[in-house]
Structure 1
Amino acid sequence: MSAPVKPPQSQSSQEQQQQTDSPVPTDPPFWYNPCGMPFDGSGGGGSGGMTMETDSAMRRDEADIIDGVLVTASSALMHAEQFAGSFVNETFKIDIKQLHERFKDSILTWVQQTKYMPKELDVSLDESYLVGLTFKGVLHAVYVGLQNLAVGLEQVVWDQNREGLPFLQDFKETTFKLKAILCEVSMAIYDINETPEQYVTRDIMPEESRTSDNQRSLRDWLILREYITGLQYVIETFEYLKSKR
């Protein structure tokens, strides 16, 4: 007796399998339109064509903006720090302090951390740096800097999912937390009657960094490290701005 013929996959199933096998994310970037606002179809500007409320009565003041950013960033940092130790211990068999010291000088140039959120992990910002900050300048800088980190975290989640790795849910949660912060920051830029920069595109991350298996675990740590450092930067700068109001 001949073996039963397996029914052909539907087109949608085949496409879904191809997407899963792709080494590069195929879903829409999660940092585009982080607040889920309706689109007006124009596709222009940093809003990507979002329809925004322009009534000045609806705009938040600086104090409310700072509080909103601090709440979301603090929640994200707490989550990241909770699983970072387990990730490092299981992946590298050493603790975070040892790993950080070993690769302290290793950086991901495409993240451009020193340009947008210049800070070292667990090292406080100098007072001389903080006094030169402006509310508007910080909003625009972290809006771009956090999107750069989003590009990297998206790839980590994609690889964790494709390869069935154990920290998928933890890294996926970082993208949800980061999306919430980006929503706060993007809305804050509108609240002060400014226009956000164009969305950061995936191509800032080199193809080799996406597809090479060589030192992928180190790549993931560096992305996580810069994410945690970026959150520390956001919290420290916004707390400083709050103290000077």
Structure 2
Amino acid sequence: MNRKERRMDVPAKWVNPCGLAADDFEADQDVVQLSDDQLLAQVVVQAKTALMHAQLFRDDYIKEMFTTNFDDLHTSWKSNRYDWLPGLREIPKQLGEALSQDYLNKLEIRNLDTILLDTYEYMQIFAVGLEQIVWDQEDYNLRFQQQFQDTEFKLRTVLCELQVALIERAVPLRPDVPRSVMGPQFRNMTENTYRHLRDWLIFRDYMNGLEFIVQVFEHFRQVLES
């Protein structure tokens, strides 16, 4: 078994991101449960932290890999996306844009459990893509290995807060996203140009997903306050 095959058998970082034992999935009646507002606030804080981290090295990364700037790169590839990543139907906005007020108005607090589950799933899918970026950064000895490793860690923290929210609300979890969601044709890219573009589309959509979390859950917090 070669290195790439061994990697595919390593436990996925996005599965049980909090590292909870089986007993932790049972709600303890003696422990004070966090309010929905507190749960959502924790998710928003970690999503903002992860987004800020990504933005700190985004421009340097783009300059190094594409010899251009963010605005030009984003404009050039704005309409390109992978169908295995959450798309406009799931996250109806582009990076840097706000969700429409019409979309936010249609979100109902009674659907919070479903939205938490959906968001958890979206973030797990992004984690699959980021993992491959990290592996390729290592294999090709690229400059942004540490930044993308840190990105994986930040995403895991976001996933942990989503996991906590779901457990606190006693929501049964869906099956975890498998590595196979990202097919071999997307993993085994030897041509630098295609691989760099693949990494940008994943990284871009991941940042957009974080913006989505912040906007949706801050909207729910406002609804809860009112």
TM, length-normalised to structure 2? 0.91
Q: Which of 186, 192, 209 is matched with 1:209 structurally?
A: 186
Greater share of residues in helix: 2
Q: Distance in 2 between matches of 1:127 and 1:210?
A: 37
* Residue of structure 1 equivalent to 2:86: 112
Unpaired runs of 5+ residues, structure 1, are: 1-14, 40-49
Is structure 2 residue 54 aligned with structure 1 residue 80?
yes
Q: Distance in 2 between matches of 1:178 and 1:63?
A: 21
Q: 1:149-160, aligned counterparts within 5 Å?
A: 149-160=126-137
Stretch of structure 1 that moved more, 52-61 or 231-240: 52-61
Deviation at 1:22, TM superposition (A): 5.0
Question: Is the alpha carbon distance of 1:196 and 1:116 closer, same or farther for their aligned partners in structure 2, counting shifts above 3 Å?
Answer: farther
Q: Which of 200, 220, 225 is matched with 1:241 structurally?
A: 220
In the alignment of these two chains, the number of paired residues is 218
Is structure 2 residue 89 aligned with structure 1 residue 98?
no
Question: Is the alpha carbon distance of 1:198 and 1:244 closer, same or farther for their aligned partners in structure 2, counting shifts above 3 Å?
Answer: same
Q: Distance in 2 between matches of 1:92 and 1:188?
A: 39
Is structure 2 residue 10 aligned with structure 1 residue 27?
yes
What SS does structure 1 have at the residue aligned with 2:81? coil
Q: Distance in 2 between matches of 1:115 and 1:141?
A: 12
User: For the pair shown, which has the larger CA radius of gyration, 1 or 2?
Assistant: 1
Unpaired runs of 5+ residues, structure 2, are: none
* Residue of structure 1 equivalent to 2:25: 52
Could you list the structure 1 runs, at least 4 aligned residues long, displaced by more than 3 angstroms after superposition. 21-26
CA contact (8 A) 1:23 1:210 kept: no
Q: Which of 43, 48, 63 is matched with 1:69 structurally?
A: 43
Is structure 2 residue 142 aligned with structure 1 residue 165?
yes
Q: Distance in 1 between matches of 2:211 and 2:40?
A: 14
Deviation at 1:53, TM superposition (A): 3.7
Deviation at 1:115, TM superposition (A): 4.0
